[in-house]
């Protein structure tokens, strides 16, 4: 059995191990609509040596009208195998956001499919670049591999489950969008969505889980930041956001704190606010 790997690794840790057999570095960058950034083009222009590019939208349920929904186990496994990620590989994923926007989403998908040998690069490619570490351009491919999915139950909440939570309160709903989007005072980046939040949810913007240099807050500061909006340490959590990406930053952070009683509402605000039969609250308070 392979030894466990840390859920978060430093740039120094990775620099010492680049090129080792069984280590797969993944650029999992994606950006909000309207950001003006093209993750694939940025990857081709410059990425960590040997890193492959994982397109989150392409690694999604292609049958769903919602953005980048988690695919089924077989489809996910086929995608990983085609990318050259195998059962015994240690995957280290980063993004270029500077605020840990999408790397945790890739980490979550891989773990949800039963592959625990996956880590997030602390500080992402921004910290790597600031340290003057090497980059390369162009595309990187790997030989095909065998990826065996072992999907974990209970990792995702769907719309009926979220409706039930409004009545039961069995899990805390934590919305990782910005305070303005949560309150309904800022426009949504996707057209046609109402502003506001799911009634009863707490707000914790995902970018507040990192320091100024883009690295994850130290453990005690992270614990305090998560507790600040009233998130209880002994009550299960459902994380949500705009489209199921940035919410994974909370799932990753809680894992670092030893908590795995967390699920993702994958349809997120895009699904909830895109309907006419779901209640929406506005304002900063619950």
**Domains of the chain, earliest start first:** 8-130 (3.40.250.10), 156-272 (3.40.250.10)
Crossing angle of the two packed helices 248-256 and 219-227, in degrees rounded to 10: 130
12 to 3, 46, 156: CA distances (angstroms): 20, 19, 34
Q: What is the pLDDT along the chain (286 residues), one digit of tens a residue?
A: 467 899 999 999 999 999 999 999 999 999 988 889 999 999 999 999 999 999 999 999 999 999 999 999 999 999 999 999 999 999 999 999 999 999 999 999 999 999 999 999 999 999 999 999 999 999 999 999 999 999 999 999 999 999 999 999 999 999 999 999 999 999 999 988 999 999 999 999 999 999 999 999 999 999 999 999 999 999 999 999 999 999 999 999 999 999 999 999 999 999 999 999 999 999 986 5
Which H helix or E strand runs over 248?
helix 248-256
- Residue 248 appears among annotated catalytic residues: no
Quick one: DSSP state of residue 216? B
Task: Please report which helix (H) or strand (E) contains residue 186, including its range.
Answer: none
Tokens of 114: 């039963």
pLDDT, tens digit, for every residue of 270-284? 999 999 999 999 998
SS3 content of the chain, % helix, strand, coil (to 5): 30, 15, 55
Question: pLDDT for 60-76, tens place per residue?
Answer: 999 999 999 999 999 99
Can you tell me the distance from the alpha carbon of 68 to that of 36, in angstroms, rounded to the nearest whole number? Answer: 19
Q: Residue holding tokens 């999604």? A: 60
Task: Provide long-range contacts, Cβ within 8 A and 24+ apart, for 217-222.
Answer: 219/256, 219/257, 222/253, 222/256, 222/257
pLDDT of residue 285: 62
Residues in Cβ contact with 82 at an 8 Å cutoff, skipping those fewer than 6 apart: 144
In angstroms, the CA 187 to CA 191 distance is 9
H or E element at residue 283: none
* Residue of 241, 251, 254, 262 marked catalytic: 241
């Amino acid at each position: 059995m392979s030894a466990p790997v840390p859920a978060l690794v430093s740039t120094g840790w990775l620099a010492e191990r680049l090129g080792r057999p069984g280590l797969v570095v993944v650029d999992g960058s994606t950006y909000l609509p309207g950001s003006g950034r093209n993750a694939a083009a940025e990857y081709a222009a410059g990425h960590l040596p040997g890193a492959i590019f994982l397109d989150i939208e392409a690694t999604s349920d292609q049958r769903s009208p919602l953005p980048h929904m988690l695919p089924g186990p077989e489809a996910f496994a086929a995608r990983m195998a085609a990318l050259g990620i195998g059962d015994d590989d240690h995957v280290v994923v980063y993004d270029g956001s500077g605020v840990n926007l999408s790397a945790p989403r890739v980490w979550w998908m891989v773990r949800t499919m039963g592959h625990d040998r996956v880590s997030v690069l602390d500080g992402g490619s921004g910290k790597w670049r600031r340290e003057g570490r090497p980059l390369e351009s162009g595309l990187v491919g790997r030989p095909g591999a065998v990826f065996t999915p072992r999907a974990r139950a209970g990792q995702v909440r769907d719309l009926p489950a979220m409706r039930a939570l409004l009545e039961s309160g069995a899990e805390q709903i934590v919305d990782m969008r910005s305070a303005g989007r949560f309150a309904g005072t800022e426009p949504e980046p996707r057209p046609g969505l109402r502003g506001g939040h799911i009634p009863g949810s707490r707000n914790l913007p995902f970018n507040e889980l990192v320091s100024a240099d883009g690295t994850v807050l130290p453990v005690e500061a992270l614990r305090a930041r998560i507790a600040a909006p009233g998130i209880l340490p002994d009550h299960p959590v459902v994380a949500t956001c705009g489209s199921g990406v940035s919410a994974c930053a909370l799932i990753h952070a809680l894992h670092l704190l030893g908590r795995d009683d967390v699920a993702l509402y994958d349809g997120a605000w895009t699904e909830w606010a895109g309907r006419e039969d779901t209640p929406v609250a506005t304002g900063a308070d619950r």
